Structure 1
Amino acid sequence: MAEHPITDKLREAVLDDSQSFNSLAAETGISRPTLVRFAKGDGTLRLDHAETLCRYYQLELVKRKG
């Protein structure tokens, strides 16, 4: 299991997105520097920013069975 599964999935979504950080920042309201630091692994996200990215990329938290 990944060490930081939520962070890893969000970072993967940001890095897999073909649009620029400027465009993503404009669409989400999260600053470009915050997105760049997060994508590079140099920083984390505030919870409200993580929620914004989850909504933007249509990601959701699902409890595993077992």
Structure 2
Amino acid sequence: MSTKKKVAFHTLGCKLNFTETSTIARSFRENGFELTDFSKKADFYVINTCSVTDNADKNLKTF
């Protein structure tokens, strides 16, 4: 059984947000975290978004 803390990511918005999430996720992995799907149980949930695009802003409000 894994004792690593689990972190899940959900990204909304532009391509830059997806690139940033990838970089952040890599940092978590390198520091001993296990990545898991956002729909699964995790110790930490990260939602990466911005309000530059109207769609991202609307999608964020659904969480």
Give the TM-score, by structure 1 length.
0.33
Structure with a larger share of its residues in strand: 2
Pick the structure with greater CA Rg: 2
Higher normalized contact order (CA 8 Å, seq sep 6+, divided by chain length)? 2
Structure with a larger share of its residues in helix: 1
